Amino acid sequence: MSYRWDWAVFVQPVATGEPTTYLGWIAAGLEATVGIALAGWIVALVIGTAMGIVRTLPGRWLYACSATYVAVFRNIPLIVQFFIWFWAVPELLPGHLGTAIKHMPPTESAALASVVCLGLFTSARVCEQVRAGLQALPAGQWAAGLSLGLSRFQTYRYVLLPVAARNLVPPLTSEFLNIVKNSSVASTIGVLELTAQAQRMIDYTSRSYESFLAIVVGYALLTGIIMFVGRRIERSVRLSFGSDGR
Amino acid sequence: MTIGKKTLRLLLAASLLAAGSAHAQSASTLQKIKESGTVVLGVRPAVVPFSYFDDQQKPLGYSQDVALAIVDGIKKKLNLPNLTVRTIAITPQNRIPLLQNGTIDIECTTTTNNVEREKQVAFSNTIFVIGTRLLTKKDSGIKDFADLKGRTVVTNAGSTSEPILHKLNTEQNLGMTITTQKDVAESFLSLSTGRADAFMLDDAMLAGERAKSPDANDYVIVGKAQSREAYGCMFRKDDPDFKQVVDDAVSRLQTSGQADVLYKKWFDGPIPPNGLNLHLQESDDLKTLFKAPNDKPLS
């Protein structure tokens, strides 16, 4: 017996009776993946950068808090975090707030949980990248800033962060790639993103290889774009007197 | 761009690999079983009471009992009383690929025999007939599908209930919010936490979820069945010898009255591990089937 490829399956109308084709499902999944990954990335970048800076500040209490934050979000499996945010958190919130979340349109409540979950999970990773980026700077830069009479805030704002940010482009690009791929876990709480749509397509057409190859192309497309943009940013912000001599 | 070429080549390699593994088997299933001395059954870890694991991770259930009856038939046919039986946990997504690439030989779980699937795989005589109905809380005021107007209904992603719900929405203008979850446990959680007002699925699976709940008495199964489906054991296509052995075993079970005994054991009596009872009456469809075993798909 041999496998019979059937690419025409993508232009068939879907079995659920919605007015679309299987290709339409994949496209809708791609859109949802882009949406939650992008929104999650904004959350991750804002919170992660703030936490990363906090991790480099003096003070034992601040350090303990930020270290705990990173440990919690980085050490619990992502799929468990998704479950907690979607199923458990609304039950733990005070009465009417939890009910309000549960009575949101189901796609919206699942998307909200996904953005929060992916954003916070990735922020813990971004935090560590930012901390490493700041700590990698020579101690003299910090001392130089202060000796010029800059405040601690000004030293970060005008000296440390601009230099660190340039070095952070490659690792943050890779975190962005990760959040796109991790968004596939959102399929476990009912978000119809790329992976979920492929699974749904398999359920109705039993075309496993075609469906998965389609989403391979989808993910490759997204990550390809991110890598391309990341490289462009990296090149455009590179200092003319960098260690590579250019 | 070199990256582009590399990616393309990788993709090509992946697709060839997939095609290759799908090509891999050609010998008949009986021959494969005879040569390896092993039959491999696909099982589901948590579909009570059809195919699930007990507290020792041992597979059991109504469909599993049917599978074991089939294994007995294979043993007799091949004259291999000491045939090794291996079980592999499968999911609805991977069951067809695992069958096609020879990882499993047969699976008796809750797979619906339908025309679409018959293009890719073969089915035994029907082992069970279900109707798609609704599970809801007793105080929800939902007595039938018409009461779903404006309510939120959950079902499993990829189930046969999903298209039926969409159809009800367009044809009867019910304005339901239709939401999907990936499996029965999650769908039931949607219902029990109040995210959804009703849960549509195969009645037997609804009864299973209800029985597992700590407050089983708060839930009722309601509504006229919107579709009927025939569950069959699934195996590789174009293998008449194997189908004969499987069908004979299933027919013998049903015409001898043993299937009724199995029904009472799994659907109207205490079942492991905690002595749950599904309290599901034997349907007329099932009684008819047991009198005249057949492999006709109902959908």
Q: Both B108 and B146 in a single domain? A: no
- The answer as to whether A190 is a domain residue is yes
- The answer as to whether A223 is a domain residue is yes
Domains of chain A: total: 1
B170 contacts on A by Cβ (under 8 Å): 17
- The answer as to whether A180 is a domain residue is yes
Measured CA to CA in angstroms, residue A57 lies from A159, A223, B79 at distances of 15, 34, 76
- The answer as to whether B2 is a domain residue is no
- The answer as to whether A243 is a domain residue is no
Q: What is the CATH number of the domain that holds A71?
A: 1.10.3720.10
- From A31's Cα to the closest Cα of chain B, the distance in A is 18
B237 contacts on A by Cβ (under 8 Å): 1
Q: Both B115 and B199 in a single domain? A: no
Question: Is-contact A169 A230, C-beta < 8 A?
Answer: yes
- The answer as to whether A242 is a domain residue is no
- The answer as to whether B298 is a domain residue is no
Please give the pLDDT value at position A193: 95
CB pairs under 8 A between A and B: 100
Please give the pLDDT value at position B194: 92
| Final residue in a domain of this structure, among B228, B247, B268 | B228
Q: Both B102 and B246 in a single domain? A: yes
The closest alpha carbon to B205, from B89, B91, B110, belongs to: B110
Q: Both B120 and B237 in a single domain? A: yes
Predicted confidence (pLDDT) per residue in B169-226, tens digit: 989 999 999 999 988 889 999 999 999 999 999 999 899 899 888 888 999 999 999 9
CB contact under 8 A, A3 and B19: yes
Q: Both B200 and B282 in a single domain? A: no
- The answer as to whether B17 is a domain residue is no
The torsion angles phi and psi of A181, rounded to 5 degrees, stand at -70, -40
What interface predicted TM-score (ipTM) does this complex get? 0.76
Q: Both B102 and B41 in a single domain? A: yes
The closest alpha carbon to A193, from A120, A128, A133, A113, belongs to: A113
Question: Is-contact B191 B137, C-beta < 8 A?
Answer: yes
Domains of chain B: total: 2
CB contact under 8 A, A209 and B120: no
Residues of chain A with pLDDT under 70: 1-2, 240-246
Residue B11, pLDDT > 60, answer: no
Domain that holds residue B98: 27-129+230-291
Residue B163, pLDDT > 80, answer: yes
Q: Both B270 and B207 in a single domain? A: no
Question: Is-contact A168 A133, C-beta < 8 A?
Answer: yes
Predicted confidence (pLDDT) per residue in B51-89, tens digit: 999 989 999 999 999 999 999 999 999 999 999 999 999
Residue B171 forms contact with A (CB below 8 Å): no
Predicted confidence (pLDDT) per residue in B85-115, tens digit: 999 999 988 999 999 999 999 999 999 998 9
